[in-house]
């Protein structure tokens, strides 16, 4: 067991030095890091069955160990104390049983709460925080798209600029906030409260101004978020979906068909913004980072609210694409901006952009505009 404790702490401590985002422990292969989006096994022997089953034992409480034995899955967070200039990071750890042995997927969460500049996010994220005092704000994306970091930056801006009572409900707690102008309670599922449903049942009685729901994962969490927003709270939440349009379908699929019109009406009244993101390989010589987010932002307006009520989701992309001056932006438009700033290469943009033809059209328009401006200056 001592050997396991030393090994896991060394493996976790090395993540900061390597700038690794993830660590995978699986039987039959060496411990494997994800660095700059690519998987990199360490130069060492494959993990044995016994090592895999006991490597993370020193990190588990008895309650966590029992839950894993019963279910075969466990999510928890763990903090590595800083020593000799290393460590200090938190880790989001998922244990899973595979082939009757323990595997682990470990995400590194940097100790410092990132700023918008650190994350290379556009100014509209800060504008949302300062403009909204109630309603529902969703940050959506697939696993590993940086949703938690983005929400941490937004919550910390509330914390730094307003005197609010912030309550978070997380599974697990990733970033630890220090109260600034606001006061904060962070509740971790399985430690502070049994589950999301129990936490949400009581949250509005705790005099919150701002509520953060780690993930909307079923009918009850979606309804609780909407109801809290309807009663004058600012609610931040994450949703596992690829883009802003998919967020509506994802939320509605939790409800039977005869309830969806009611949910749409509630969303049209309470929704303030949906911000979708995905991480893209970056030109690190310019950005200082191996990845940057490509984003899509939908802000509610009278027209957007009407389209949501009338089930005209298919018309929303055109509204987003034509409302850049209002702060909205489509993925394709943002890819073009990232190329224009040289944060990503053209080949990367073409590989990842959802609409390559539209991307080329936007970039061609930028080139024509720039050429015209240069011609006028010479004249």
Q: What is the CATH number of the domain that holds 356?
A: 3.40.50.300
123 C-beta neighbours (distance < 10 Å), count: 9
User: Residue 203 class from Cβ within 10 Å (0-12 exposed, 13-18 middle, 19+ buried)?
Assistant: buried
pLDDT score, position 111: 74
Euclidean distance between CA atoms 159 and 120, whole angstroms: 20
21 C-beta neighbours (distance < 10 Å), count: 21
Instruction: Identify the residue whose tokens are 């470990």.
Output: 106
Give which of 146, 93, 92 is closest to 290, Cα–Cα: 146
- Residues 160, 237 share a domain: yes
Whether residue 295 contacts residue 307, with contact meaning beta carbons closer than 8 Å, is answered with no
- Residues 168, 52 share a domain: no
Domain limit, last residue, from 89, 109, 129: 109
By residue range, what is the domain housing residue 62? 2-109
- Residues 143, 66 share a domain: no
- Residues 238, 121 share a domain: yes
Q: Count how many domains the chain has.
A: 2
- Residues 149, 37 share a domain: no
Strands (E), 144-302: 165-170, 183-188, 210-213, 234-239, 271-281, 291-299
The shares of helix, strand and coil residues in the chain, as percent rounded to the nearest 5, are: 45, 25, 30
Give which of 60, 22, 68 is closest to 291, Cα–Cα: 22
- Residues 350, 302 share a domain: yes
- Residues 274, 153 share a domain: yes
- Residues 163, 15 share a domain: no
Whether residue 125 contacts residue 275, with contact meaning beta carbons closer than 8 Å, is answered with yes
pLDDT score, position 2: 32
- Residues 124, 98 share a domain: no
pLDDT score, position 82: 67
- Residues 93, 138 share a domain: no
- Residues 56, 123 share a domain: no
Domain limit, last residue, from 109, 133, 151: 109
Domain limit, last residue, from 109, 141, 169: 109
Mean pLDDT by 10 residues, the chain (379 residues): 55 90 95 91 91 93 91 89 64 93 92 92 96 96 92 97 97 89 93 90 94 94 95 96 92 95 96 97 92 96 95 93 93 95 94 92 66 43
**Residue 379 located in a structural domain:** no
Whether residue 154 contacts residue 182, with contact meaning beta carbons closer than 8 Å, is answered with no
DSSP 70-102: HHSEEEEEEEPPPBTTB---EEEEEEEEETTEE
């Amino acid at each position: 067991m001592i050997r396991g404790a030393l090994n896991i702490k060394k493996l976790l401590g090395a993540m900061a030095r390597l700038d690794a985002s993830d660590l995978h422990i699986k039987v039959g292969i060496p411990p494997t890091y994800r660095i700059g989006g690519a998987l990199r096994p360490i130069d060492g022997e494959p993990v044995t069955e016994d090592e895999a089953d006991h490597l993370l034992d020193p990190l588990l409480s008895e309650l966590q160990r029992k839950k894993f034995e019963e279910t075969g899955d466990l999510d928890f967070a763990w903090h590595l104390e800083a020593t000799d200039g290393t460590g200090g990071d938190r880790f989001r750890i998922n244990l899973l049983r595979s082939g009757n042995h323990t595997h682990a997927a470990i995400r590194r969460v940097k100790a410092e709460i990132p700023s918008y500049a650190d994350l290379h996010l556009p100014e509209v994220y800060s504008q949302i925080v300062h403009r909204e005092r109630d309603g529902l704000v969703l940050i959506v994306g697939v696993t590993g798209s940086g949703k938690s970091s983005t929400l941490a930056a937004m919550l910390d801006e509330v914390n730094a600029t307003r005197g609010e009572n912030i309550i978070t409900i997380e599974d697990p707690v990733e970033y630890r906030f220090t109260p600034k102008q606001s006061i904060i309670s962070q509740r971790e599922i399985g430690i502070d409260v049994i589950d999301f449903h129990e936490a949400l049942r009581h949250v509005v009685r705790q005099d919150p101004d701002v509520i953060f729901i780690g993930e909307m994962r079923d009918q009850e969490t979606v309804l609780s978020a909407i109801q809290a927003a309807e009663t004058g709270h600012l609610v931040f939440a994450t949703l596992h979906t690829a883009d802003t349009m998919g967020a509506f379908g994802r939320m509605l699929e939790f409800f039977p068909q005869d309830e969806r019109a009611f949910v749409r009406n509630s969303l049209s009244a309470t929704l303030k913004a949906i911000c979708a993101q995905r991480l893209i390989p970056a030109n690190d010589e310019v950005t200082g980072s191996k990845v940057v987010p490509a984003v899509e932002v939908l802000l509610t307006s009278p027209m957007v609210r009407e389209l949501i009520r009338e089930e005209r989701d298919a018309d929303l992309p055109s509204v987003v694409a034509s409302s850049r001056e209002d702060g909205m932006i489509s993925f394709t438009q943002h890819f073009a901006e990232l190329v224009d700033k040289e944060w990503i290469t053209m080949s990367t943009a073409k590989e990842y952009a959802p609409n390559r033809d539209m991307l080329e059209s936007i970039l061609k328009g930028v080139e024509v505009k720039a050429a015209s401006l240069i011609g006028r200056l010479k004249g």
